[in-house]
Structure 1
Amino acid sequence: MTIGRLAELTGVPASAIRYWERHGLLPAPERHSGQRRYPAEAAGRIVLLRKCQQAGLTLAQIREFQEDQPRRAAMIRTKLAEIEQLRTDLDHAHQLLEHALRCSRQDIVTCPTFQAQMAGWRTTP
């Protein structure tokens, strides 16, 4: 398929596809009459690249993720720990904002319920 069709199928601009090729994240496609021609599985690789980006992986980490090398597992473990910490932080922010909507205190920091929440957050591993 052409780069235009691949872009259409994946919702990723052709410029991003070419960028990923230049940086070794997508294999170079065959060319027919000077046009790039992608196999069907290229769409799956692009979905993987987008998901990795959305998960916060850098281009270097995505490259490492795609390669079968010993550092890959360590990088994945590190990224999973970062994501778990982000989940915890987002959960705390969500709790704070939900409470702030219901709290009648002018200064939420003086609210005993909020103070109890904060104390619980400090003890969360």
Structure 2
Amino acid sequence: MAEQLTIGELASRTGVATSALRYWEELCVLPAPVRVSGQRRYPPSAVGLVGVVLLLRDAGFTLQEVRAFVESRSPAGDGWRELYQRKLTELDQRIAQAQVARTAIAHGLACPHEDIFECANFAGGVAAFLAGSSLEEAHEAIHSH
């Protein structure tokens, strides 16, 4: 039988807590390992799979998306490309939102008022936001005149 890793050994090799590994197994992010005398035994390839989970998580994927990614693997499958495309679109939207927020905050820092609550532009932006405008629309409205 090939080398098998205990959950503690897998945790040690990957830097992931055993509780997280159990949780990922519960969510089907990691396949259920074989059991020897009631203890989990992972194949050496589990180290790489945990690395994939960590990489995708750091790239912004949720654990549910990671599970879908892992499940999409097949010799003829291209399902992972669709998952990547959806995540790329989502990240582009988040980047655009972050850029709008950054611009609005930078403009707030440039406000000449000692107390931003006394600034007519700030109050106008808050009013526009409360009226249903997005942050971008509210920011544009106060700087368009």
Normalised by the length of structure 1, the TM-score is: 0.67
Matching residue of 1:31: 35
Distance 2:121 2:52 in 1: 43
Deviates more, 1:83-92 or 1:72-81: 72-81
The residue type equivalent to 1:32 in the other structure is V
Shift of 1:77: 1.6
Give ranges in structure 1 of 5+ residues lacking alignment.
120-125
Matching residue of 2:105: 97
CA contact (8 A) 2:11 2:18 kept: yes
CA contact (8 A) 1:2 1:36 kept: yes
Distance 1:58 1:38 in 2: 20
Q: Report the CA distance shift for 1:102/1:9 in structure 2 as closer, same or farther (over 3 A).
A: farther
Matching residue of 1:109: 121
Matching residue of 2:49: 45
CA deviation map 1:19-72 (0-9, x unaligned): 22233221232333332222333222123223333414351x222212234554
Q: Report the CA distance shift for 1:70/1:39 in structure 2 as closer, same or farther (over 3 A).
A: closer
4+ residue runs over 4 A deviation: none
Give ranges in structure 2 of 5+ residues lacking alignment.
123-135, 141-145
Distance 1:85 1:108 in 2: 29
CA contact (8 A) 1:10 1:46 kept: yes
Larger Rg belongs to: 2
1:73-84 aligned at under 5 Å gives the runs 73-84=81-92
Aligned-pair Cα RMSD in Å: 2.8
Aligned length: 112
Normalised by the length of structure 2, the TM-score is: 0.59
CA deviation map 1:49-106 (0-9, x unaligned): 23333414351x2222122345543332222101110011112222322332233244
What SS class does the counterpart of residue 25 from structure 1 fall into? Answer: coil
Q: Report the CA distance shift for 1:10/1:102 in structure 2 as closer, same or farther (over 3 A).
A: farther
Matching residue of 1:57: 62
